[in-house]
Amino acid sequence: MSLELTAPTPEAPDVAEDGVWLADIETGETYAPFDEIRYTGADGNLLEVRYADPPTFEDFRGQGRGVWRYHAALPFDEGVSLPEGATPLHRAPRLRETVGVRSLRIKHEGMNPTGSFKDRGMTVGVRVAQKLGVGRLACASTGNTSAALAAYGARGGMQTLVLLPAGKVAAGKVAQAALHDARILEVDGNFDNCLDIVQDLAQRGEVYLLNSLNPFRLEGQKTIGLEILEEFREDNGRFPDRIVLPVGNAGNTSALYKAFRELVQSGALDPAEVPKLTGVQAAGSAPMVEAIEHGWPDTERWNEVETIATAIRIGNPVNAPKALPGIRGTGGTAVAVEDDAITEAQRDLAKEGIGVEPASAASVAGLKKLREKGVVGSEEDVVCLTTGHLLKDPDAAYEAGNKPEPVPNDPGAVLEHIGAQ
């Protein structure tokens, strides 16, 4: 099944339900969307949700705010909602001047209900679980997925099981999952080991998998791209040239590309107007960058990964077969950045009043590196996606920020200490 940007709208097969079906991205084989639980095609290939009637911008007018404003681009009219979406598209004037681009906006997904973009996927994914009649939800997680799944599972009245790599998840994220009543299992291994286990449990029919391997989860994440296009055009009269985003499992890269392809199919977006999707990974966990640099159709698994950016500490991005065509098809690229550059970018954002966890700051670090190399031009309009809130990883925020300074219990001494007298 073609993932080209200009691929035509597919005809609805007999298995479609209300114009919605699942399709194998490699073979084109189609499946009914809700007759049975299905995560991959018959050969283990990734699936996509397909629509007989792709949306236009007109379909979104007068539909409120948030993820479900875009129900015309989703499998349902409403989902299990907290609500989510409608996150800010911040201006960052000092950072824009430092980087040296025509305009720079920061899409802050940390302002979702549980503090990350994962809420967008869960509002759709948990609704699908209800449609399928499953009782136990599960995910492997570096933290944000577990927090979102636990909250939306609780909202939907469903059991939730999360598998985390022992000692590798920020405390703020574990606390969220725990408080939302999830059962938390710490695995002696990394994220990819956790995902292997959850996939096995899902194949046995014991749990409903809501990692981004699940094609319905990515449908909610598409709305990030739709919000960016709508708001940027409203403010500037044009679409951004480039969207820079952190890459872990590559779900957002895949989801945004799918949103843009569907708008091209409906005629709402010209292919020349599609922003260049630009992925950023930490240098210690960069299989996507490796694949882009070598021209590979898929990634090779990194068994050893390490970075302070825990949310993207992933060595086997399951959505790479969808994301790599997205980067290449939009004329984008991918770049790896060191941890110290991520921390510097986290500070830069904080000085603009935008508080993010380390993985989020990778997008800004990557933009700075690409601008220095001349890959990003000075006349470009750029949006950087930040995926999680500062308080997701308070320990990292403390290490990156200013440290408390002890002073005597005396106003004069305080003034003297800060140099005011």
Domains of the chain: 89-114+215-400 (3.40.50.1100), 118-209 (3.40.50.1100)
4: number of Cβ within 10 Å: 11
Q: Which residues of the chain have pLDDT under 70?
A: 1, 421
Which string of DSSP letters, residue by residue, matches 57-125? GGGGTTS-SSGGGGGGGSSSS--S-S------EEE-HHHHHHHT-SEEEEEEGGGSTTSBTHHHHHHHH
- pLDDT for 143 equals 82
Mind listing the pLDDT tens digit for each residue in 100-158?
999 999 999 999 999 999 999 999 999 999 999 998 999 988 788 999 999 999 999 99
H or E stretch covering 216: helix 215-236
- pLDDT for 421 equals 66
Q: Which one-letter amino acid corresponds to residue 251?
A: G
Mind listing the pLDDT tens digit for each residue in 70-87?
999 999 999 999 999 999
- pLDDT for 174 equals 83
H or E stretch covering 163: strand 159-165
CA dist 413 and 161 (Å) reads 53
Q: Which backbone phi and psi does 75 adopt, to 5 degrees?
A: -75, -20
CA dist 106 and 384 (Å) reads 5
Known binding-site residue numbers: 144, 248-252, 387
Known binding-site residue numbers for pyridoxal 5'-phosphate: 144, 248-252, 387
Check: CB of residue 143 under 8 Å from CB of residue 98: no
Residues 6+ apart with CB under 8 A from 15: 21, 30, 31, 32, 35
Please, how many CA atoms are within 13 Å of residue 325, restricted to the half-sphere of its CB? Answer: 18
Q: Which one-letter amino acid corresponds to residue 401?
A: G
Check: CB of residue 334 under 8 Å from CB of residue 247: yes
Q: Which one-letter amino acid corresponds to residue 237?
A: G
- pLDDT for 1 equals 53
Q: Which backbone phi and psi does 263 adopt, to 5 degrees?
A: -70, -35
Sign of the dihedral through C-alpha 114, 96, 326, 60 = positive
